[in-house]
Amino acid sequence: MTLSVLRQTAEAMVKPGQGILAMDESTPTVGKRLKAVDVDNTEENRVAYRTILLGTPGLGDYISGAILYDETIRQSTSDGEPFPELMKRQGIMPGIKVDTGAKELALNAGEKVTEGLDGLRERLEEYVGFGAKFCKWRAVITIAEDKPSRACIEANAHALARYAALCQEAGLVPIVEPEVLINGAHTIETSYEVTVETQRQVFEQLYRQGVQFEGMILKPSMVISGTDCPQRAGVEQVAEETLRCLQQTVPAAVPGVAFLSGGQSDEEATQHLNTMNQMAARLSLPWQLTFSYARALQNQVLETWRGDAAKAEQASQALLHRAKLNSLASLGEYAPDMEREAA
């Protein structure tokens, strides 16, 4: 696979006005989401829910790709159409989560390192056969007293880089996701310091592993106060600090930055993205700034559907409406009063 093809795919993933739907929850995690709306975690219900997400008419106008879980890329709709084929018909690129989860980091209580490198080359070859165009690997960095440790940041940065190199070898665009968790009482200043250090280490390791920056996408957390911080920073400050962090850490060759929502409310995540893009336009930044949201796109879908087949169309409209709002935010054209419009 040539770099030009990887670059073409990466640029298509962050095409202006489009973002990425993250729907790669593991079976236990999606079970928690379903349980919250009183739906049993059966394969039939998982297929029904994923059919709503991927089968929403017009979703491809706002969503360039969707990150799938291993089960999903192998599944078909109740009508027998493989999900990757449904996505192709919708104009949505299939992506796949390839890490096997964050595990406790040895000798560093309360910190984690993401695993999944064993056998990854062979798994990537299989996913290419299913039609995957890109992959995702998530690392988690915790802010607390004496955390994160240098060992935690370096271990996760190295794993992300090895994963990314294997993806590009297989002709797949890697989404590199170093998530600095929002949990905690930390200030936005602490968030900035930790995020800068994390992203610097990540790009150093990516360079050392020979990863081509033009053929990857960064999926970072926003620089934001902890959820328990007594005085949380406002939208403007979050946007300013996040952009400043990108300027300090991200090479200009990277085609785009697709932010995760990371515990923010639906509206908050959209507002932050919109304000960043309005500021970025004035700064002439080199990257496309867009979204790769999970719950901030899916929350209202689940609440509307709640396992009722008669509500499937209404749930689809809720997803389409949320995707459109984030599409506008990725262009800096969102306004809060749009939230009141009917989905």
Q: Which of 25, 111, 177, 240 is catalytic?
A: 177
176 pairs with which residues across the strands? 137, 218
Farthest-apart Cα atoms in the chain, separation: 53
Question: What DSSP state is assigned to residue 117?
Answer: -
Written as one letter, the residue type at 131 is G
**Among 157, 75, 154, 160, residue whose Cα is nearest residue 116:** 160
Q: How far apart are the first and last CA of the chain?
A: 41
Please give the structure tokens belonging to residue 30: 């999606």
Q: Which of 25, 219, 240, 241 is catalytic?
A: 219
What does R_g of the chain's alpha carbons equal in angstroms?
19
Backbone angles phi, psi at 182, to 5 degrees: -85, -15
Neighbouring CB atoms inside 10 A of 79's CB total: 8
The answer to whether 97 and 136 have CB atoms below 8 angstroms apart is yes
Question: Could you tell me how many residues make up the chain?
Answer: 343
The answer to whether 229 and 190 have CB atoms below 8 angstroms apart is no
Task: Indicate if 179 belongs to the active site.
Answer: no
- Give alpha helix (H) positions in 170-263: 188-208, 235-249
| Rounded distance between C-alpha atoms, residue 141 and residue 58, angstroms | 36
Task: Indicate if 177 belongs to the active site.
Answer: yes
Give the residue numbers marked as catalytic: 177, 219
